[in-house]
Amino acid sequence: MKRIVLILLTVIVSLSSYAQENKVLDGIFIKETAPTRRVIPYTHIREADVMYYKRVWRIIDLREKINFPLYYPEQPIKEIGYERLSLFDVIKRGVEEGTITAYEEDEVGGQFQVPLTKSEAFDMLSEERTNIDIDPETGLEIENTYTVDIGAQDVVSYRVKEDWVFDRERSVMEVRIIGILPVIEKESAETGQKTIKGLFWIYFPEARYVFANHEVYNTTNDGSRLTFEDLFRKRVFSSYIFRETNVFDNRMIDQYSKNIDMLLESRRIEHEIINIEHDMWQY
């Protein structure tokens, strides 16, 4: 009985303090799980226990419906007593607060060798664009240059660097994400052609502590949402491999395959990893 009374008093005190700060409670309860969520630590793996090791790079295409929770909302929105952000806004806010370190894109798959300062990272989050206007008085063309901030709406995909390891101590094949690279589509002012450009790498084991405190939208139940850390750990996204470690300078798949053949090659690499795991067992 005393325990029930103590719990009720705790709830009443928390609700009253919340009401004093925010005046109105948007919802029927205070969200406390995600903001105070702790990261599940990785299991230590010894080098002597590694029977198989493979590094691959993936592309998460944000145009696929299953990946929409990573893309939306384009602007932060407040709902059900909580602020919901896209993955890019979470990364951007983490870089601004100093809880996530941005690393230079080295075009070799992310080596995390050159950390960027906050100002250097935010310089990459804006670009100059040129617009041609007609002077109404003279009829001459006027070239206007202006700066546009890059937001979540400009991100078209994410490149993910990950390692697959078979740990014989636990007899499991485990995948761990090493880094994530936001990719935008940039339009050339001269030719008008659109090109793909990677912004900066973030080290995923460091970013996990930020991702664990931000929710991802659940299309079926608002009361049972994952965090971004849960989403990546449980692999709730669609992707395809575009690069693997190989003898040919770790070349990308699109350098020797195109269109449907590129996707089939990506599927072949995935099946190869799965078959390696199956071959470790005897039935």
Q: Mean per-residue pLDDT for 29-54?
A: 89
Average pLDDT, the chain: 85
Distance CA 159, CA 179 (A): 8
| Residue with the two structure tokens 């664990």 | 212
Cβ pair 67, 61 in contact under 8 A: yes
Higher pLDDT, 267 or 142: 267
Beta-bridged to residue 155, according to DSSP, are: 184
Higher pLDDT, 155 or 139: 155
Distance CA 194, CA 184 (A): 10
Structure token digits, residue 109: 């798959």
User: What is residue 79's predicted lDDT score, i.e. its pLDDT?
Assistant: 80
Distance CA 277, CA 47 (A): 18
Distance CA 84, CA 216 (A): 8
Mind listing the pLDDT tens digit for each residue in 81-104? 778 899 999 999 999 999 999 999
Give DSSP secondary structure letters for 122-133: HHTTEEEEEEEE
Which of the four pLDDT bands, split at 50, 70 and 90, describes residue 3?
low
Q: 20 to each of 7, 17, 27, 36, how far by Cα in Å?
A: 20, 5, 15, 21
Sign of CA dihedral 184, 128, 85, 42: positive
Cβ pair 165, 173 in contact under 8 A: yes
Reply yes or no on whether the pLDDT at 12 is more than 80: no
